[in-house]
Amino acid sequence: MDFNIYDFTSFTTWVHNALTSSMSPGWAMFVELAIVGVVFIAFYAVIGLYLVYAERKVCALIQNRKGPNRVGPFGLLQTIADLFKLLMKELIYIKNADKFLFNLAPFIVIIASFMAIAALPFAKGLHAIDLNIGIFYLFAVSSLGVIGILLAGWSSNSKYSLIGAIRSGAQVVSYELSVGLALLSIVIFSGSMQLSTIVESQANGWWIIKGHIPAIISFLIFLVASTAETNRGPFDLAEAESELTAGFHTEYSGIKFAFFFLAEYMNMFIVAAIAATVFLGGWMPFHIPGLDGMNHVMDYIPPFVWFMGKTAFIIFIMMWFKWTFPRLRIDQLLKLEWKYLLPLNLMNIVLIAFIVLMGWYIK
């Protein structure tokens, strides 16, 4: 076996061949599915927990505090301790709640984020499934999470939850458009919806550089709209704690609350990963044509690190937003989308089509 951290293709083919040679193809596929599932669950848990830790550290940095620093070195084990606390907490049952839907809602939210994570290319040759409509699939799956939020709000039989759910519904349905249209701009540039092709097309430069002005506009719109779609501050109206105490998850406790909590952070990771893949070149290292020496140094850094680094950078920006801005009001939120982002987006797409037609981008 030839294990190489710069290209996982040989590793994955080796695993596949080893499995198919030792059992029937059906079982081999089944085992592969199981392996991918276990890896993703582990990855999900670790990323989720450490994003919570990262958020607390970033927020502490912005607020002149230290953040968690007692459990483990630099407080690294703090969120794990929190997880155990949440696991042990009592699950409070609500009288007159629709129990079935009440229990189902956290799972829908978390399954939606699982489905999205499956299509992400983490490094060269390291993705669970490389659909030829990758971006479209991500867009489709990301719209499912809101169903869980709507269910949670309605089935808790609480007015605060219901208002939170309705807010979140209006918000996600509106901002989905901007997210989709912003991603469409890169589809026009690269001429493909397949995530691996989009990443390959950025080998000689990231789209945000190659696509110059319109790509930067799309990137900014995507950043704003995806922050809104994940219900994060300053767009966290669905759980605005100063108005609705906790919005749609007011009535949840223990591990069910933790599901919502984890899903929020995973959604943040997913949108950041999409932005990194589509605009910032995914796992492609940073290259400047002509500077061969620097390009070699950049190539030395493994693709997985590049991918995670870019994702972390975007996540940092999103956290930075959240901890500096006040929250928008619901009518301002919708006005921002329908009056500013959407028209701007449509004009931007026309501009991109024109630029691609004329070949005015860096090839």
Report the distance separating Cα 71 and Cα 52, nearest Å. Answer: 14
Q: Which of 199, 186, 132 is nearest to 352 (CA)?
A: 186
Q: Cis peptide leading into 234, omega within 30 of 0?
A: yes
Is 61 one of the binding residues for another protein (CB under 8 A)?
no
Specify whether the CB–CB gap between 333 and 239 falls below 8 A: no
- Name the token pair of 331: 């009518």
Residues 254-313 contacting another protein, CB under 8 A: none
Tell me: does residue 325 bind another protein (CB under 8 A). Answer: yes
Contact range with another protein by CB under 8 A, out of 42-50, 207-215, 259-267, 319-327: 319-327
If one asks whether residue 192 binds another protein (CB under 8 A), the answer comes out as: yes
CB of 169 to another protein, least distance (A): 5
Q: How far apart are CA 124 and CA 151, in angstroms?
A: 38
Residue 154 lies near another protein (rule: CB under 8 A): yes
Tell which one of 173, 291, 294, 362 touches another protein (CB under 8 A).
173
DSSP annotation of 126 reads: B
Q: Give CA–CA dist 196/131, Å, rounded.
A: 9
Q: Does 26 bind another protein (CB under 8 A)?
A: yes
- Tell me the closest approach of the beta carbon of residue 75 to another protein, in angstroms: 18
Q: Are the C-beta atoms of residues 301 and 287 closer than 8 Å to each other?
A: no
**Residue 80 or 104 with smaller CB distance to another protein:** 104
- Of 13-21, 71-79, 149-157, 207-215, which segment contacts another protein by CB under 8 A? 149-157
216-255: contacts with another protein (CB under 8 A)? 233-234, 236-237, 240-245
Q: Are 163 and 151 in contact (CB under 8 A)?
A: no
Task: Output 6 or 323, the one with its CB closest to another protein.
Answer: 323
**Closest-CA residue to 58 (of 341, 320, 324):** 320
Residue 121 burial by Cβ neighbours in a 10 Å radius (0-12, 13-18, 19+):
buried
Asked if 98 touches another protein (CB under 8 A), the answer is: yes
Identify which of residues 154 and 306 has a Cβ nearer to another protein in the complex.
Answer: 154
Element (H, E) at 15: helix 9-22
Nearer Cβ to another protein, position 11 or 320? 320
Task: Please pick, from the candidates 329, 338, 343, 360, the single residue that binds another protein as defined by CB under 8 A.
Answer: 329
> Interface with another protein by CB under 8 A: which range of 9-17, 67-75, 217-225, 322-330?
322-330
Residue 146 or 199: the one with the smaller Cβ distance to another protein is 146
Given candidates 100, 313, 338, 340, which one binds another protein under the rule CB under 8 A?
A: 100
29 near another protein, rule: CB under 8 A: yes
Spatial contact of 199 and 284, defined as CB atoms under 8 Å apart: yes
Long-range contacts made by residues 164-170, C-beta under 8 angstroms, separation at least 24?
164/237, 164/238, 164/239, 164/240, 164/244, 164/246, 164/247, 164/248, 164/249, 164/250, 165/238, 165/247, 165/248, 167/237, 167/238, 167/247, 167/330, 168/231, 168/237, 168/238, 168/247, 168/248, 170/330, 170/334
Q: How many CB atoms neighbour CB 326 within 10 A?
A: 8
Near another protein by CB under 8 A: residue from 19, 104, 118, 128: 104
Nearer to another protein, 29 or 255 (CB): 29
User: Does 103 sit near another protein (CB under 8 A)?
Assistant: no
**Angle of CA points 241, 244, 245, to nearest 5°:** 50
Q: How many residues bind another protein (CB under 8 A)?
A: 67
Closest distance to another protein from the beta carbon of 157 (Å): 5
Q: Which residues form the interface with another protein (CB under 8 A)?
A: 25-26, 29-30, 59, 62-65, 96-98, 100-101, 104, 131-133, 136-137, 139-141, 143-144, 146-147, 150-151, 153-155, 157, 159-160, 162-163, 165-167, 169-170, 172-173, 176, 192-193, 233-234, 236-237, 240-245, 323-332
